[in-house]
Structure 1
C-alpha cells in the first residue's frame, strides 16, 4: 500500500515535468536578448522560494534581492510559467498603459467573480466597462454622497466602538466598508436581503485565493457556491433597480447598480444597454471584493501606525478639529471639508506606499515586447510588484522612514502605483479617498488607542493582515456622536 502511494506521488510530481519538457522542445527559438536571470528547475522555478518568503512576510525583501542581482528587468519562472519580473517607473508605465499586455489573474478569480469583470478585460471592452463605472464613481457624483458615508461611519462607531474598552480593528473596518458598499453602491437597505449578501460574501472570501479544485469539502467549492448565492442577490437587485427606473420611481444617481442599469449605447437612452447584465453583476462582485478589502486594510494600517507616531496623530487631530469647529453640532461632513484633510490623505498615501494592499499581479504578453533593450516573448508572464518601486531609495529618499511630507508635491509619474496608473488607474480611487477621510475624521476626534500586542507584525494572505487583526485598547475622548443629533 505504501509503495503504491509513493509511486502515485512520484508520478504526480514527474508528469508535469515531462509535459513541460516535451512542450518546450517544440516551441520556436527564444530571442537572444532575453532579460538576465534564471528559470530554475522546470515547473518549480522560483515559486517555492517566493511563496516561502511571502509566508514569512519577507516577500518584498526577496524581490529586492532578486533586483539587486539581476536588475529591474529579469527572467524567472513562477507557478509553472516563464516570467519576466519588471520594476521601476518605465516598467510600471508599460504594465498599466500597454494593450500588448493582458491581465492574468489566478484561475480561481474569474470563476468566482465572473469572466466579464474589469480585471479580466482588455482593449475596448475594458475601456467601455471602466467608462461606465466612472459615471457613478467620478468626483462630481461622489460629492453628493459624502453625507451618506458620514452617516454610515457615525452609525458604525456608535454601534461597534462606543462604550468599549478594546476592539479588534481589521474585522470592524471590513464590516464598515461592507456597509458603505451595500448602502451607497448597491442601494440595499438593512434587512434580510443585505444579510444574505453579507453571509454569502463572507463564505466566498474564504476560498478566493484557494487552489481551484472543484471537489467536495474544498475551500474553492465552498467559495463557488457562495459566489452563486451572492450573484443571485445581485441579479435580483439589478432586476428590481431596472424595474424602478422604468416606472420612474428612482434615479440613476441613487446607486452604482441603478447607474449601470440605466446606461445605453446612444446618448438618447433608447438604444441597447451599454453593459450586459452579466457585466453589471460581474463588476458589482469586483467592487464588493476590492472596495471591501483594500480600504479596510488601508484604514487598519493607518490606525496601527498612528498608535506609535504621536506627532503625526497630533497633527491630524489638529487638522480635524479645525474642520469641526466650523460646523454645527450634528452637521455632516461635506465635499469641501474633505479638501481640508490634506495631511490625513498624505498619511494614507504614505501608508499605501510602505504597505500596499496588493502585493503584485501578473500580465500576459500578447506579442513580443521590448523593454530596456530586452525582449519579453509573446505568451510569457509579466510580474510586477509595487513595493519594489515604492521602496527604491533612488525614487523615495529614506524609503524605510514614514514621511507623509513626501506627498506634498507630485510623485514622479508611475513611481507611486498603489492605485495602478494610466488607463489601469483604479476606478474607485475617489470612493476610497472619501470613505478613508470621513472615517479617520471621526476616529481621531472620538478615540485614542494603544496596541494590545507588543509584537507589531503582519502577514500577507494575500492581503496584509496585522497580528490577531490588530486588537487595540480604546480611550474615549468625549466628543459627542453627530448621529445623536442628525439621526
Structure 2
C-alpha cells in the first residue's frame, strides 16, 4: 500500500508544472485553444494513470520510476548552468515558469541574476532573452537574415500572409502601397475629422459614470481606423457592417469565433471594400486608384482588414494606458492644463512618447533559423529570441529615473540617440506610427483642455495577449472640468 501511494504521488507530480501554468488565467486567455488541448492532455494522462492503477497495479512502481527520472531531468534543465558545456547562456529552462506571466520585473530580475543574455522557457518553448540596445541593434540589423518571425495564427488566412510575415520582396511591395496610401489618407481634412471625433466621443462619455475603458477605447479606435483605411466615417450607412465584420475578427483573435465565421467575415469585408473602392479617400481608395486591379487582390484586402483590427486594438490599449498613467500624474496633468496653446502640442507629444516608453512595448520576438552566437553564447536553431524592449526602455544608462513617468525628457522633440523603439525597428517599423501619435496627442489634449479624469482600480496589473494591462477592475469616469474665471 505504501508503495502504491508513493507511486501515485510521484505520478501526480509529473504533470504539475503544466497544470500550475494552465491554472493562470492570463495563460488560458492568451491561447484558449492550446490551453484546452493541454487540459485534455492532462485528463488523458490522469485517465491513463487511473487505468493502470485499476488494471495493472503492479506496473505503478515502474511508471513512477520513469516519472521520477523525468522530474529529475526537468530539475537538471532548470539549473542555470545546464547547457553551459555546449555554449548555452545561463538561466533556467524550468518547463513552465510563472514569472513571464505574473511578474513585470521578471526580465529585469533575470538580467540581474544571469546577465544581459540568458535562457528561459515561455509556454514550454526554450527562449533566449536579450537585453541591451547595442545587442538588439546587432541582432535585428546584422543578423536579421538568420531570423524568422513566429507567425500569427491569422496569417494563414491571407494568400501571401500578413505583411509582417511575407517574403521580403512581397512585404516591401505591400509596404510601398500602404505607405503611399497612408500619405494620401492622413491629409489635413481627415486629421481634423479624427480629432473632432475623439473630442466628440470623450465629451459624450462625460457624466455617464464609471465605465470599463477598454471597450470604449476599442470602439473609438475601430471607427478611426475604418475612416483611415476604408474612408468609412461613423455615420456612414456601411459603418455597421464594417464594424460587425471587424468585431468577428476580434473574437477570432481571442479564439471565440470559429474558422467558418472568421472566413465569412473576411469575405464580407472584401465585398464591402470592393463596393467602396471608388468612393472615399482612405488607404483602400488610394491603392485602388493607383491600380484598379488591386480591388481583386485578396492579399491586399485581407491585410487591410487585419491592419484595421490590430491597429484599433493597439491604439485602443494605448489610450487605456494613457488614462491610467495620467490619472497617477496629477502634477504633469496640471502642467498640461496650465500650458499655453503654443507649448501644449510639444507637451502632448512628449506625453505620448513617454507613455509608449513605459507601456505597450514589451518585447520583440524572433525565431533563430540557424545556429547563432550572441555575446559568445550559442543560440540553437529553432529557439526563440526575446529582445526585451521593456527593459531597454528602462535602461538607467540612457534614462534618468527610468521607471518614473517623466515626459519632460522628450520636450522639444528630443529622444535618446539609441534604444527608443516602441513601434518596431528597421524594416519592420510600424507604418501606423502617425496614427498613434495623432490619436494619443488628441486624447491628452482633451484631458488638458476640457475633461476631468477619475479612475478606480487598475492595480495589480495583469499580463494579457502580449502586453501588460491595467487590472480588469480598472474603471474610468469623465467629467467636465470647471472653467477658470
> Which TM-score tier does this pair reach, normalised by the shorter chain?
0.7 to 0.9
Matched residues in 2 for 1:366 and 1:157: separation?
47
Indicate the residue corresponding to 2:366 in structure 1. 363
Contact residue 177 and residue 292 of structure 1 kept, 8 A: yes
Whether 1:145 aligns to 2:190 is yes
Whether 1:105 aligns to 2:140 is no
What is the deviation of 1:5?
1.2
Matched residues in 1 for 2:207 and 2:158: separation?
38
What is the deviation of 1:419?
0.7
SS of residue in 1 equivalent to 2:401: coil
Indicate the residue corresponding to 2:419 in structure 1. 415
Label 1:191 to 1:144 Cα distance change in 2 as closer, same or farther (>3 A).
closer
Label 1:303 to 1:133 Cα distance change in 2 as closer, same or farther (>3 A).
same
Indicate the residue corresponding to 2:5 in structure 1. none
Higher-RCO chain (CA-CA 8 Å, sequence separation at least 6) = 1
Aligned residues: 412
1:8-60, Cα deviation, whole Å (9 max, x unpaired): 9999x99xx9xxx9xxxxxxxx997734124636xx3xxx21xx23443x1x3
Matched residues in 1 for 2:480 and 2:456: separation?
16
Indicate the residue corresponding to 2:79 in structure 1. none
What is the deviation of 1:410?
4.2
Indicate the residue corresponding to 1:188 in structure 2. 232
Determine which structure has more spread, i.e. the larger CA radius of gyration: 2
Label 1:224 to 1:112 Cα distance change in 2 as closer, same or farther (>3 A).
farther
Indicate the residue corresponding to 1:261 in structure 2. 288
SS of residue in 1 equivalent to 2:328: coil
Indicate the residue corresponding to 1:461 in structure 2. 464
Matched residues in 2 for 1:406 and 1:139: separation?
32
Whether 1:430 aligns to 2:434 is yes
Contact residue 222 and residue 308 of structure 2 kept, 8 A: yes
| Partner of residue 73 from structure 1, selected from 117, 130, 139 | 117
Indicate the residue corresponding to 2:57 in structure 1. none
Contact residue 74 and residue 85 of structure 1 kept, 8 A: yes
Label 1:432 to 1:177 Cα distance change in 2 as closer, same or farther (>3 A).
same
Contact residue 35 and residue 84 of structure 1 kept, 8 A: no
Contact residue 185 and residue 228 of structure 2 kept, 8 A: no
What is the deviation of 1:445?
1.8
What is the deviation of 1:427?
0.6
Whether 1:173 aligns to 2:199 is no
Matched residues in 1 for 2:120 and 2:376: separation?
17
Whether 1:237 aligns to 2:282 is no
What is the deviation of 1:208?
1.9
SS of residue in 2 equivalent to 1:240: helix
Whether 1:90 aligns to 2:94 is no
| Partner of residue 199 from structure 1, selected from 218, 222, 244 | 244
Indicate the residue corresponding to 2:387 in structure 1. 384
What is the deviation of 1:122?
4.4
SS of residue in 2 equivalent to 1:40: coil
| Partner of residue 453 from structure 2, selected from 449, 460, 467 | 449
Matched residues in 1 for 2:145 and 2:290: separation?
25
What is the deviation of 1:374?
3.3
Question: Counting helix residues as a fraction of each chain, which structure ranks higher?
Answer: 2
Indicate the residue corresponding to 1:24 in structure 2. none
SS of residue in 1 equivalent to 2:318: helix
Contact residue 181 and residue 284 of structure 2 kept, 8 A: no
Whether 1:296 aligns to 2:316 is yes
Label 1:446 to 1:411 Cα distance change in 2 as closer, same or farther (>3 A).
closer
Matched residues in 2 for 1:398 and 1:262: separation?
50
Matched residues in 1 for 2:395 and 2:330: separation?
27
Whether 1:317 aligns to 2:337 is yes
Indicate the residue corresponding to 2:355 in structure 1. 351
Indicate the residue corresponding to 1:482 in structure 2. none
Matched residues in 2 for 1:2 and 1:241: separation?
51
What is the deviation of 1:473?
3.5
Indicate the residue corresponding to 1:405 in structure 2. 408
Matched residues in 2 for 1:4 and 1:365: separation?
36
Label 1:310 to 1:350 Cα distance change in 2 as closer, same or farther (>3 A).
same
Contact residue 454 and residue 476 of structure 2 kept, 8 A: yes
1:84-137, Cα deviation, whole Å (9 max, x unpaired): 22121123224543233221135x342467762112124222222222211123
Contact residue 182 and residue 188 of structure 1 kept, 8 A: yes
What is the deviation of 1:4?
7.4
TM-score by length of 1: 0.74
Moved more, 142-151 or 420-429: 142-151
Matched residues in 2 for 1:281 and 1:157: separation?
31
Label 1:83 to 1:3 Cα distance change in 2 as closer, same or farther (>3 A).
closer
1:198-229, Cα deviation, whole Å (9 max, x unpaired): 2343343345255xxxxxxxx3xx15344323
Unaligned runs of 5+ in 2: 1-42, 53-62, 75-82
Tell me the C-alpha RMSD between the 2 structures: 3.5
| Partner of residue 34 from structure 1, selected from 76, 87, 92 | 87
What is the deviation of 1:158?
4.0
Moved more, 459-468 or 397-406: 459-468
Contact residue 92 and residue 414 of structure 1 kept, 8 A: no
Matched residues in 1 for 2:186 and 2:157: separation?
30
Matched residues in 2 for 1:461 and 1:70: separation?
26
Contact residue 205 and residue 223 of structure 1 kept, 8 A: no
What is the deviation of 1:470?
3.0
SS of residue in 1 equivalent to 2:242: helix
Contact residue 455 and residue 475 of structure 2 kept, 8 A: yes
Label 1:54 to 1:37 Cα distance change in 2 as closer, same or farther (>3 A).
closer
1:323-373, Cα deviation, whole Å (9 max, x unpaired): 6xxxxxxxxxxxxxxx96111121122112222x24334212233434333
